[in-house]
């Protein structure tokens, strides 16, 4: 390729449409603090997702940190090592001990059996991630949570509009956290959100993200500044206009990859889960070195020589980073499934404008 092809490229709406929103912000002089675009976007996303309440955030990491504060989570939380580091960092920033559990091989999400096995008297919550936008086994996780009296906070940063048998995946668990980062299916430059299911919790989260203020002179909690600005919210409103079209383009590209790679020995990829409406954020493939004849890392390097930059999401595991690798649950051999997956995975480029020509070229290189 003449120009580098990265694993993703931000999706942007037409600039002239965005400048109209900017003009309104310049006129109103409302830049942040629950302004008109912020209010409109909250309502628009509640309608789009089919959820009860949403609180917008400056980014997904602050939303995760605040979600844990909102439910006053302490002690130990069971989570997955197969995610972006922010999932576990949010626990650390709250002085909570992460306890890693293994994933199921099919879709790389937390294995409910392993979650149950990791529960101790200190466990207060489970923090699963819907990795690659594929829903976790939400029913089994809820059953475990109910049995042991635990909270469930989903890291739903990879999901956008995902449903299971027409039920929004965001309706499961006590809270779900989203990211609208530039690299996501839907972006507000940076951005995030917490989905909650009752008015009181939403209000508490809204207080927390605004320094704990409730009203002009009352501070009800030690909050933080995690508010989404009007420019971000305006971007969000405009992006919503194009989101279905963009997800459809991602679906088409995913289908093309699957078709072209269907018979390549040693390459496994994920199929759609029946009953699930997907959002196609990533196209991970898993390389079985013995069968494929080349290691994942050699393939990754080879693609780079052709100006194609896949990403090894998620490698290393969060549990392998220096901060966490000394923890009991992180020790080598404790999570055999995920330890294997992390050595095999590479995400291929996927974004709405990716041309058919490039997809075919990538697949011919893989073959």
Ligand X SMILES: Cc1ncc(COP(=O)(O)O)c(C=O)c1O
> Site residues (CB under 6 A) for ligand X?
59-61, 83-84, 86-87, 129, 155, 157-158, 179, 181, 192
Q: Which two tokens stand for residue 149?
A: 């009296």
Residue among 279 and 359 whose Cβ is closer to ligand X: 279
Residue among 104 and 288 whose Cβ is closer to ligand X: 104
Least distance from ligand X to the Cβ atom of residue 320, Å: 16
Least distance from ligand X to the Cβ atom of residue 225, Å: 15
Least distance from ligand X to the Cβ atom of residue 318, Å: 10
Least distance from ligand X to the Cβ atom of residue 219, Å: 25
Residue among 187 and 267 whose Cβ is closer to ligand X: 187
Residue whose C-beta lies closest to ligand X: 60
Least distance from ligand X to the Cβ atom of residue 32, Å: 17
Least distance from ligand X to the Cβ atom of residue 312, Å: 14
Least distance from ligand X to the Cβ atom of residue 284, Å: 13
Residue among 59 and 201 whose Cβ is closer to ligand X: 59
Residue among 61 and 134 whose Cβ is closer to ligand X: 61
Residue among 186 and 257 whose Cβ is closer to ligand X: 186
Residues 187 and 208: beta-carbon distance below 8 Å:
no
Residue among 86 and 115 whose Cβ is closer to ligand X: 86
Q: Which two tokens stand for residue 90?
A: 């949010």
């Amino acid at each position: 390729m003449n120009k580098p092809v990265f694993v993703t490229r931000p999706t942007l709406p037409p600039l002239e449409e965005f400048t109209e929103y900017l003009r309104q912000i310049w006129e109103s002089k409302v830049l942040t603090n629950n302004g008109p675009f912020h209010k409109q976007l909250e309502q628009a996303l509640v309608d789009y997702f089919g959820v009860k309440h949403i609180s917008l955030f400056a980014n997904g990491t602050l939303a995760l940190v605040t979600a844990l504060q909102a439910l006053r989570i302490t002690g130990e939380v069971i989570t997955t090592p197969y995610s972006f580091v922010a999932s576990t960092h949010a626990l650390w920033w709250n002085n909570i001990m992460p306890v890693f559990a293994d994933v199921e091989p099919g879709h790389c999400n937390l294995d409910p059996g392993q979650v149950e096995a990791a529960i101790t008297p200190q466990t207060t919550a489970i923090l699963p991630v819907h990795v690659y936008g594929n829903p976790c086994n939400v029913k089994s996780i809820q059953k475990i949570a109910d049995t042991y009296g635990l909270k469930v906070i989903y890291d739903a940063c990879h999901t956008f509009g995902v449903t299971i048998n027409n039920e929004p995946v965001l309706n499961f668990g006590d809270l779900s956290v989203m990211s609208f980062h530039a690299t996501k299916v839907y972006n507000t430059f940076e951005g995030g959100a917490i989905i909650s299911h009752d008015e009181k919790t939403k209000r508490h989260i809204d207080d927390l993200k605004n320094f704990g203020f409730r009203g002009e002179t009352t501070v009800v909690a030690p909050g933080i500044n995690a508010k989404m600005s009007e420019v971000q919210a305006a971007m969000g409103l405009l992006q919503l206009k194009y989101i279905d079209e963009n997800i459809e383009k991602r679906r088409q590209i995913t289908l093309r990859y699957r078709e072209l790679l269907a018979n390549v020995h040693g390459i496994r990829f994920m199929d759609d889960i029946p009953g699930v409406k997907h959002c196609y954020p990533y196209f991970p493939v898993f390389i079985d070195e013995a069968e494929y004849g080349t290691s994942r890392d050699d393939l990754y390097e080879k693609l780079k020589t052709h100006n194609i930059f896949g990403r090894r999401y998620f490698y290393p595991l969060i549990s392998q980073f220096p901060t966490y690798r000394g923890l009991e649950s992180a020790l080598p051999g404790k999570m055999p499934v995920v330890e294997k997956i992390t050595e095999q995975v590479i995400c291929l480029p996927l974004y709405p404008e990716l041309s058919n020509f490039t997809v075919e070229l990538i697949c011919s290189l893989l073959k």
